[in-house]
């Protein structure tokens, strides 16, 4: 662990990928490479994996670009893939990273013949089933990556999904391959939106099995168009190809409803369809998350929901729709399609209510965008259905000095709670009429003011963010720190520093007190909760004391701010040491008790802001539960 007073490390500008190593032990074929100082491994008992450096290059290209660093692959790579890599980097420059750094590779010519087999990335969802049953090509391998949508530690669920894949493969008379990997545990992967990086992760699987399959099929997402914030795309997936592997994106332009209409009468799909990524409970489909509800609505529009036992034949559909607080803008296409595609009765009315309470403009809830500009409005349904904890005037002294300037946003690394802060920031920038774009460390100066995102990472405890601030200061452009907490002194040449709670002012006496930006977030009013008490505690070094056996970490359960807000809204009472999960509960008007973390942040935030918003505070979980019992 870093000392609070340790000297900052040198800023790293490259992501080094060491040559991969292959090993076989007790029937397990493994490929391992050290990436940015951390070991990344893939392992399978079903196939002999190839030590392909292209696999690690594909998986880490977007995370390297997202971190404003260049990718350096130390092992020689296929010259065809190296040429495609340049075009791929340029494509990502146009999409998300306009000043991306070049990738360093050593191309070589490889003469081995391309294998004839075709593999399909398959996890039991609508898109993969559609490709399997309709693409018209002979598919001889279904490949599933444990550690992508199901975490390695979720062994029972991983085993259940693997059985599903093997059952489907057996029904089709083809091979099933399960590959386990710790890829998503890597810090670069965890700090990159999966929505952007998963295309490269899928391609990595193809390169690893390239000795047996010369073609890898990836399935379109069912939006019916290529969304700018989606990382598996027809124009980029093919650029992951090499001399030995062709990567092909299938069924672009086909909507999810069209796919489901084609699949609804297939007994194989009826038995095995699995769409849920929430990974809760023992069922493969929870029937409550947005993706499950979206699929159930489409099946209902096709008149086939009762044929799918994995969704309990549709029982509870209306309650599940009404239980969703909102639908993110990117996903609303699916719901509009069902309304025009045969959905009627109570389900149609429930979908209209859901869309009415959902945001109608783009916001960084699914994946944080590479750049954005304002001013722009972010309407969230009718005013009577919006909720904001603090009025915009409470943030005027933060944003008014930025009006009229060319603002560059320096994005900190963090978790879904930090994404909630960012979502509030984007709305407030728009409300104050401030135009902005994402700052890039490698770009020529195009801003006359920089802002570093709010959160709880000032000081040297979180060195990655300390390094990012140093890189921004080195440009000479005035840098403002949006409302933050301090764990130690950080006296550097910032233009302004806004501090979000009073105790941190002792570590930054020149700081200006301002609310956490998530308190200025506008979000639809929440529906009625379906559960009573939820205990949610962090699983990282900020946790204070032992973790109760059944407590979950909401930052690990949720992937987007909408997930965070929905999970909080689903509980009538909440006990948590996650500050922004407590704020999410307050947005939903829930009974919230915030528990102390391992330094002053939670206690001071409660004293400074949250007490007046109706939040309780406890020094430990047991005290919090006692408070809840007394209140009940």
Percent residues over pLDDT 70 in the chain = 91
Nearest Cα neighbor of 454 from 399, 392, 509 is 399
CA-to-CA distance for 542 and 539, rounded, in angstroms?
8
pLDDT in tens, 453-504: 999 999 999 999 999 999 999 999 999 999 999 999 999 999 999 999 999 9
- At residue 617 the predicted structure's pLDDT band, cuts being 50, 70 and 90, is very high
592 CB-near residues (< 8 Å, 6+ apart):
573, 574, 576, 582, 585, 586, 614, 615, 616
Q: What is the pLDDT of residue 337?
A: 86
Give the residue extent of every domain in the chain.
14-250, 256-356, 383-520, 526-631
Here the tokens at position 503 are 């105790």
Asked whether residue 402 carries a pLDDT value surpassing 70, the answer given is yes
CA-to-CA distance for 515 and 390, rounded, in angstroms?
8
What are the C-alpha distances in Å from 334 to residues 257, 276, 298? 7, 16, 8
Asked whether residue 615 carries a pLDDT value surpassing 70, the answer given is yes
pLDDT in tens, 403-419: 889 999 999 999 999 99
Across the chain, mean pLDDT equals: 87
Asked whether residue 9 carries a pLDDT value surpassing 60, the answer given is no
pLDDT in tens, 279-316: 566 678 989 888 999 999 999 999 999 999 999 878 88
Q: What is the pLDDT of residue 438?
A: 87
How does 98-114 read in b/e, with b if 16+ C-beta sit within 10 Å?
bbbbebebeeeeeeeee
More confident residue, 442 or 430: 430
Which run of H or E residues covers position 607? none
Q: What is the mean pLDDT of residues 356-372?
A: 48
Strands 38-44 and 28-35: antiparallel
483 and 454 in contact (C-beta within 8 Å)?
A: yes
Q: What is the pLDDT of residue 360?
A: 60
573 and 534 in contact (C-beta within 8 Å)?
A: yes
Q: What is the pLDDT of residue 100?
A: 76
Q: In Å, how far from its chain's centre is CA 11? A: 25
- At residue 10 the predicted structure's pLDDT band, cuts being 50, 70 and 90, is very low
Which of the 8 DSSP states describes residue 226? Answer: -
Q: What is the pLDDT of residue 333?
A: 83
Q: What is the pLDDT of residue 8?
A: 39
Q: What is the pLDDT of residue 114?
A: 81
Q: What is the mean pLDDT of residues 361-388?
A: 39
What are the C-alpha distances in Å from 130 to residues 145, 235, 271, 313, 343? 19, 20, 15, 21, 21
- At residue 548 the predicted structure's pLDDT band, cuts being 50, 70 and 90, is low
CA-to-CA distance for 161 and 618, rounded, in angstroms?
40
Helix then strand count (H, E) for the chain reads 22, 24
For 231-273, the DSSP string reads: SS-HHHHGGG--SS-EEEEE-TT-BHHHHHHHHTT-HHHHHH-
Q: Which CATH number is 383-520 given?
A: 3.40.50
CA-to-CA distance for 475 and 410, rounded, in angstroms?
12
Nearest Cα neighbor of 391 from 427, 353, 339 is 427
pTM of the model: 0.61
Here the tokens at position 475 are 């440009």
Q: What is the pLDDT of residue 523?
A: 84
Q: Spell out the alpha helix ranges (H) of 183-223.
A: 187-190, 194-208
Q: What is the pLDDT of residue 366?
A: 32
Which of the 8 DSSP states describes residue 433? Answer: T
Q: What is the pLDDT of residue 17?
A: 96
Longest dimension (CA), the chain: 74
Asked whether residue 184 carries a pLDDT value surpassing 50, the answer given is yes
pLDDT in tens, 586-603: 999 999 999 999 999 999
CA-to-CA distance for 44 and 143, rounded, in angstroms?
11
Percent residues over pLDDT 90 in the chain = 62
Asked whether residue 48 carries a pLDDT value surpassing 70, the answer given is yes
CA-to-CA distance for 214 and 232, rounded, in angstroms?
19
Q: What is the pLDDT of residue 387?
A: 65
577 and 595 in contact (C-beta within 8 Å)?
A: yes
Which of the 8 DSSP states describes residue 331? Answer: G
Asked whether residue 73 carries a pLDDT value surpassing 50, the answer given is yes
What are the C-alpha distances in Å from 608 to residues 421, 452, 502, 601? 17, 22, 6, 10
Lowest-pLDDT range, 38-42, 186-190, 224-228? 224-228
pLDDT in tens, 76-132: 999 999 999 989 998 998 888 887 777 888 878 765 678 889 999 999 999 999 999
What does the H/E/C string look like for 485-539? Answer: EECCCCCCCCCEEEECCHHHHCCCCCCEECCCHHHHCCEECCCCCCEEEEEECCC
Here the tokens at position 92 are 């990502």
Asked whether residue 361 carries a pLDDT value surpassing 60, the answer given is no
CA-to-CA distance for 290 and 323, rounded, in angstroms?
9
- At residue 379 the predicted structure's pLDDT band, cuts being 50, 70 and 90, is very low
């Amino acid at each position: 662990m870093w000392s609070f007073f340790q000297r900052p490390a040198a800023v790293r500008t490259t992501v080094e990928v060491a040559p991969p190593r292959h090993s076989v032990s007790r029937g397990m074929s493994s490929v391992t490479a050290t990436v940015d100082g951390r070991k990344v491994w893939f392992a399978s008992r079903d196939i002999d994996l190839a030590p392909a450096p292209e696999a690690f290059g594909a998986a880490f290209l977007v995370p390297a670009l997202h971190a404003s660093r260049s990718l350096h692959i130390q092992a020689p790579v296929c010259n065809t893939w190296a040429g495609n890599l340049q075009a791929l980097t340029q494509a990502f420059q146009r999409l998300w990273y306009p000043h991306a750094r070049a990738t360093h590779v050593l191309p070589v010519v490889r003469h081995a013949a391309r294998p004839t087999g075709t593999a399909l990335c398959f996890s039991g969802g609508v898109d993969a089933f559609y490709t399997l049953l309709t693409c018209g090509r002979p598919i001889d391998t279904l490949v599933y990556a444990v550690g992508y949508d199901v975490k390695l530690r979720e062994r029972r669920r991983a085993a259940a999904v693997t059985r599903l894949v093997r059952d489907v493969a057996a029904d089709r008379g083809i091979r099933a391959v399960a590959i386990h990997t710790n890829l998503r545990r890597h810090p670069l992967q965890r700090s990159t939106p999966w929505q952007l990086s998963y295309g490269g992760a899928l391609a990595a699987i193809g390169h690893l099995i390239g000795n047996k399959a010369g073609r890898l099929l990836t399935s379109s997402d069912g939006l019916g168009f290529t969304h700018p914030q989606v990382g598996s795309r027809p124009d980029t997936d093919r650029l992951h190809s090499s001399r030995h592997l062709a990567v092909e994106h299938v069924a672009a332009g086909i909507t999810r409803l069209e796919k489901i209409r084609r699949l609804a009468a297939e007994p194989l799909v009826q038995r095995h369809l699995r769409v849920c990524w929430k990974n809760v409970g023992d069922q493969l489909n929870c029937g409550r998350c947005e993706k499950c509800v979206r699929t159930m609505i489409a099946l209902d529009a096709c008149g086939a929901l009762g044929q799918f036992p994995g969704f309990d034949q549709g029982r509870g559909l209306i309650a599940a729709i009404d239980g969703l607080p909102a639908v993110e803008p990117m996903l609303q296409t699916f719901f509009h399609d069902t309304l025009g595609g045969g959905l009627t009765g109570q389900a149609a009315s429930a979908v209209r209510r859901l869309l009415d309470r959902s945001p109608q403009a783009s916001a960084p809830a699914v994946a944080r965008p590479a750049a954005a500009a304002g001013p722009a409005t972010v309407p969230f349904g009718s005013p009577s259905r919006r909720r904001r904890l603090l009025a915009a005037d409470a943030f005027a002294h933060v944003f008014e000095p930025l009006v009229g300037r060319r603002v560059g946003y320096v994005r900190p690394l963090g978790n879904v709670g930090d994404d909630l802060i960012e979502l509030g920031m984007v709305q407030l920038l728009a409300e104050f009429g401030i135009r902005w774009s994402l700052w890039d460390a490698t770009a020529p100066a195009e801003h006359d003011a920089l802002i570093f995102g709010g959160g709880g990472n000032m000081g040297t405890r979180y060195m990655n963010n300390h390094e990012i601030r140093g890189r921004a200061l080195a440009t000479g452009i005035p840098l403002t720190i949006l409302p933050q907490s301090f764990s130690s002194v950080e006296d550097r040449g910032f233009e302004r520093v806004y501090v979000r709670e009073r105790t941190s002012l002792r570590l930054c006496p020149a700081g200006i007190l301002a609310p956490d930006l998530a308190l200025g977030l506008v979000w639809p009013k929440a529906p009625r909760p379906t559960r009573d008490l939820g205990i949610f505690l962090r699983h990282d070094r900020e946790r204070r004391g032992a973790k109760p056996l059944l407590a979950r970490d909401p930052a690990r359960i949720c992937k987007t701010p909408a997930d965070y807000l929905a999970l909080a809204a689903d509980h009538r009472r909440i006990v948590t040491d996650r500050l922004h999960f407590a704020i999410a509960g307050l947005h939903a008007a829930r009974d919230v008790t915030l528990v102390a973390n391992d330094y002053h942040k939670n206690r001071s935030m409660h004293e400074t802001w949250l007490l007046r918003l109706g939040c309780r505070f406890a020094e430990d979980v047991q005290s919090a539960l006692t408070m809840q019992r007394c209140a009940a």
